[in-house]
């Protein structure tokens, strides 16, 4: 669907290299071909083309079958689907109109696909939900914390809550130490245990693909904290050239220490800073206890948007299920 020169269509194989270049320059690690390629035939990549037919950006969708119906959503462990695009506007008003046109093209294209349900989180730069709102999508704010890394280690510590700073200091006093690790099997075990403890679902195969297929020294890293030679906490981070993303974290089931998790996160923040990255993204949560924990590291609260839409009968059935009436 086109509007003022932008059109969305399926990505041609010949455009894959250009798509990946644009994703790396104007998107995030989650837009790249290396990341999206982990999800096989369930993933679909789409290009955003200008009036001259040039590829200017793109996004991806994860397609699955639920209850015999087509559902479009974010790929597993993927915080946003895009869109990303190369902006050529110079004036602020022109930039706003260009972004609006890209989002309008995206919203219209999703309508053309006619899924039973769509539920996707958009890129962090998207502050304009109107193209979706006008098409009767529910535009739902989500929240994360973004920590700027252009500050000293002392300033990073000073910006934390007293509780989080005390956690780190206690762990250090008790002889705990955060160490870089490539033992991703241990990270997977701790993350899975923690997800289960929180009542959150995680697709094990997707997690293993990230840890054992995608992860390389130039796009990710992990830290573990050990006590009595046993792992008690761990953090796994992926990154692009600008931002580090807290993707997986967890605690061991034994020899737990209250400050171990905070020490692991602080080590991950310090390493992101050493890599020259600009921002540490905590991949926030609306679960109150998790939100409070992340808040304590001193980042800036940042909204982003999820857009949802379902066929009316399906939407009504989902409401009944959530209310325990079905």
Per-residue confidence band for 320, with pLDDT thresholds at 50, 70 and 90:
very low
In this predicted structure, the answer to whether residue 274 has a pLDDT above a threshold of 90 is yes
Per-residue confidence band for 255, with pLDDT thresholds at 50, 70 and 90:
low
Those residues whose C-beta lies under 8 Å from the C-beta of residue 67, and which sit 6 or more positions away, are none
Could you read off the pLDDT of 107-136 as tens digits, one per residue?
999 999 999 999 999 999 999 999 999 999
Beta-sheet strands, E only, within the chain: 2-3, 6-10, 43-49, 55-66, 69-73, 84-85, 117-121, 138-148, 177-180, 220-227, 230-239, 243-251, 279-281, 300-310
Dist CA 87 CA 100 (whole Å) = 12
With a threshold of 0.85, does the pTM exceed it? yes
Report the candidate in 307, 300, 323 with the shortest Cα–Cα distance to residue 148: 300
Ordered domains of the chain (ranges, CATH): 2-136 (3.40.630.30), 145-303 (3.40.630.30)
Per-residue confidence band for 284, with pLDDT thresholds at 50, 70 and 90:
confident
Q: What is the mean pLDDT of the chain?
A: 90
pLDDT at position 2 is 39
Share of the chain above pLDDT 70, in %: 92
The pLDDT of 229-237, averaged and rounded, is 92
pLDDT at position 193 is 82
Dist CA 176 CA 158 (whole Å) = 21
The pLDDT of 243-254, averaged and rounded, is 86
In this predicted structure, the answer to whether residue 323 has a pLDDT above a threshold of 50 is no
Per-residue confidence band for 283, with pLDDT thresholds at 50, 70 and 90:
confident
Per-residue confidence band for 143, with pLDDT thresholds at 50, 70 and 90:
very high
pLDDT at position 317 is 44
> In the numeric block, which tokens belong to residue 2?
């086109």
pLDDT at position 151 is 94
The pLDDT of 202-215, averaged and rounded, is 90
pLDDT at position 199 is 66
DSSP string, 178-220: EEE---HHHHHHHHHHHHHHHT----HHHHHHIIIII--TTTE
pLDDT at position 203 is 74
pLDDT at position 254 is 59
CA distances from 71 to 12, 249, 299, 312 (A): 23, 28, 34, 14
Per-residue confidence band for 81, with pLDDT thresholds at 50, 70 and 90:
very high
pLDDT at position 198 is 67
In this predicted structure, the answer to whether residue 313 has a pLDDT above a threshold of 60 is no
Could you read off the pLDDT of 23-34 as tens digits, one per residue?
999 999 999 999
Q: What is the DSSP letter of 298?
A: -
In this predicted structure, the answer to whether residue 56 has a pLDDT above a threshold of 80 is yes
The pLDDT of 71-78, averaged and rounded, is 94
């Amino acid at each position: 669907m086109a509007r003022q020169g932008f059109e969305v269509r399926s990505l041609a194989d010949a455009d894959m290299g250009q798509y990946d270049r644009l994703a790396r320059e104007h998107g995030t690690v989650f837009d790249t071909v290396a990341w999206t390629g982990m999800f096989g035939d369930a993933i679909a990549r789409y290009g955003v083309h200008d009036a001259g037919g040039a590829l200017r950006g793109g996004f991806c969708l994860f397609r699955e079958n639920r209850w015999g119906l087509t559902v479009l959503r974010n790929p597993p462990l993927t915080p946003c689907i895009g869109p990303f695009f190369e902006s050529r506007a110079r004036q602020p008003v022109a930039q706003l109109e260009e972004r609006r046109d890209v989002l309008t093209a995206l919203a219209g294209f999703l309508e053309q696909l006619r899924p039973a349900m769509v539920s996707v989180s958009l890129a962090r730069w998207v502050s304009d939900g109107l193209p979706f709102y006008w098409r009767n999508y529910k535009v739902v704010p989500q929240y994360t914390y973004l920590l700027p890394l252009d500050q000293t280690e002392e300033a990073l510590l000073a910006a934390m809550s007293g509780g989080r700073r005390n956690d780190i200091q206690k762990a250090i006093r008790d002889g705990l130490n955060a160490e870089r690790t490539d033992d991703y099997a241990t990270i997977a075990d701790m993350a899975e245990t923690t997800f289960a403890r929180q009542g959150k679902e995680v697709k094990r195969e997707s997690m293993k693909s990230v840890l054992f297929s995608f992860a390389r020294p130039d796009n990710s890293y992990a830290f573990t904290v050990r006590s009595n030679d046993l792992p008690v906490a761990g953090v796994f981070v992926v990154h692009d050239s600008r931002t580090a993303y807290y993707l997986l974290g967890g605690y061991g089931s034994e020899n737990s220490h209250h400050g171990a998790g905070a020490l692991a996160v602080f080590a991950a923040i310090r390493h992101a800073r050493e890599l020259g990255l600009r921002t540490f993204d905590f991949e926030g949560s609306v679960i109150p206890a998790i939100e409070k924990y992340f808040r304590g590291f001193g980042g800036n609260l940042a909204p982003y948007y999820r857009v949802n839409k379902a066929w009316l009968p399906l939407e009504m059935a989902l409401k009944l299920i959530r209310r325990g009436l079905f």
